């Protein structure tokens, strides 16, 4: 406790943030009803079951957070779902245990060209969703070479396989990231897909690998005609989110407070502002852009509204009617922080009809409920 700082001493006032709030781009916990009204009768275009029925879909990283939710959605659409998983000493993949027998799993390291080529040759997929990556930003600071090799070389190998076995291939989606935008000038927020107004300034090795991922997808489409689909996903959250990510760090502590196991909440930077979308909405966007065959064009997948991490904690406390002091742990701050990131989703809405239909309260409730159902994941220190 000696290094912890009360959140009140760390919170910063920001004129630009106030301007963005006045323009409707920031969620204010004190004006929650106003925000929730927007979701009351909101609808989004849904994927076409007739299009997806009996399609062979391959998800790299199917056992990950987004991969497991994507697998569920594709199964509901009638797809034959295949996925790559990494070999572990113990063959447990908690996120997809409930899908055993429904999906076809292929052990593979995406950096193994021989193995990936064999999988493509065997499946001859109609749609590929390339989600496999080292996605935790702090890991990319600790192991930059390994993360770069995995994310960049792995993507090249996936696209080489797609290029060689493309007779039945209609789309190959790459899950890129808002981390590509990186150090955005506050006056450039909310960010659009236009690199003239919002150039890439990644602040992490992970962000750099995602810039490379997008460029690989673009190159293979324009050079070889590979049907590349590019999505720039902002923070997507909800059940099964890795314990080291900020929302899960908060959700787990909420559960521990409810159960009387702790009396405070500890976070990293409370001033960072992020654009959170429910993972179920995010994977629906991946499917929809692939279905609409929007090749080689980047699409932000985001809610269009940001929230300060400190306010996210307050909303979580309010949602579960708990009172707890909040502290900041300086040891949890990144070497290179992205302070403000909110996206525009006009492009994907205008071209596909997609909009998020789940609110930030849905994210909080679903995230907390997940850890209540999985108490074995409580009390584990996240780094």
For 84, the token pair is 């790559």
Q: Mind listing the pLDDT tens digit for each residue in 20-53?
A: 999 999 999 999 999 999 999 899 999 999 999 9
pLDDT confidence of residue 254: 97
Rounded to whole angstroms, how far apart are CA atoms 179 and 184? Answer: 10
Q: How confident is the model at residue 244 (pLDDT cuts 50, 70, 90)?
A: confident
Query: Which letter, b or e, does each residue of 289-312 get, where b requires 16 or more Cβ atoms within 10 Å of its Cβ?
Result: bbbbebbbbbbbbbbbbbbbbbbb
For 203, the token pair is 């602040």
pLDDT confidence of residue 88: 61
**For residues 277 and 27, is the Cβ–Cβ distance under 8 A?**
no
Q: How confident is the model at residue 383 (pLDDT cuts 50, 70, 90)?
A: very low
pLDDT confidence of residue 92: 65
What is the pTM for the complete model shown?
A: 0.94
Residues in the chain: 383
CA 86 to each of CA 56, 115, 161, 257: distance values in angstroms, whole numbers, following the listed order: 21, 12, 18, 35
Task: Provide the 3-class DSSP secondary structure of residue 36.
Answer: helix
Sequence ranges of the domains in the chain: 5-39+237-275+305-343+358-375, 49-236+278-301
CATH of the domain spanning 5-39+237-275+305-343+358-375: 3.90.25.10
Write down the H helix ranges in 38-112: 49-52, 65-76
For 29, the token pair is 């916990």
**CATH class for domain 49-236+278-301?**
alpha beta
> Does the pLDDT at position 134 exceed 60?
yes
User: Among all chains, which residue has been given the structure tokens 């590509």?
Assistant: 180
Mean pLDDT, range 339-349, rounded to an integer: 95
């Amino acid at each position: 406790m000696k290094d912890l700082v009360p959140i009140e001493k760390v919170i910063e006032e920001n004129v630009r943030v106030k301007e963005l709030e006045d323009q409707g781009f920031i969620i204010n916990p004190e004006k929650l009803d106003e925000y929730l009204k927007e979701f009351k009768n909101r609808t989004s275009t849904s994927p076409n079951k007739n299009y997806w029925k009996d399609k062979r879909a391959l998800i790299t990283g199917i056992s990950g957070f987004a991969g497991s939710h994507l697998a569920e959605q594709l199964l509901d659409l009638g797809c034959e779902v295949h996925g790559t998983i990494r070999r572990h000493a113990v063959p447990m993949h908690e996120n997809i245990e409930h899908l055993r027998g429904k999906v076809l799993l292929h052990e593979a390291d995406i950096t193994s060209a021989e193995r990936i080529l064999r999988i493509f040759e065997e499946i001859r997929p109609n749609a590929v969703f390339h989600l496999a990556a080292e996605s935790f930003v702090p890991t990319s600071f600790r192991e930059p070479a390994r993360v770069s090799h995995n994310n960049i070389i792995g993507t090249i190998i996936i696209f080489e396989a797609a290029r060689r076995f493309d007779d039945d291939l209609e789309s190959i989606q790459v899950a890129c990231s808002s981390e590509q935008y990186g150090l955005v000038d506050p006056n450039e927020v909310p960010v659009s897909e236009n690199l003239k107004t919002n150039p890439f300034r990644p602040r992490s090795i992970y962000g750099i690998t995602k810039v490379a991922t997008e460029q690989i997808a673009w190159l293979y489409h324009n050079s070889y005609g590979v049907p590349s689909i590019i999505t720039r996903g902002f923070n997507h959250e909800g059940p099964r989110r890795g314990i080291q990510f900020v929302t899960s760090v908060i959700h787990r502590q909420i559960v521990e407070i409810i159960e009387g196991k702790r009396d405070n909440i500890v976070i990293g930077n409370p001033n960072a502002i992020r654009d959170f979308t429910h993972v179920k909405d995010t994977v629906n966007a991946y499917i929809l852009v692939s279905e609409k065959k929007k090749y080689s064009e980047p699409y932000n997948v985001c809610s269009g509204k940001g929230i300060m991490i400190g306010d996210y904690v307050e909303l979580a406390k309010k949602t579960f009617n708990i009172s707890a002091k909040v502290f900041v742990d300086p040891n949890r701050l990144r070497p290179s922080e992205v302070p403000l990131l909110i996206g525009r989703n006009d492009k994907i809405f205008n071209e596909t009809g997609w909009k998020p239909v789940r609110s930030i309260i849905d994210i909080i409730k679903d995230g907390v409920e997940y850890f209540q159902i999985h108490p074995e994941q409580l009390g584990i220190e996240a780094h």
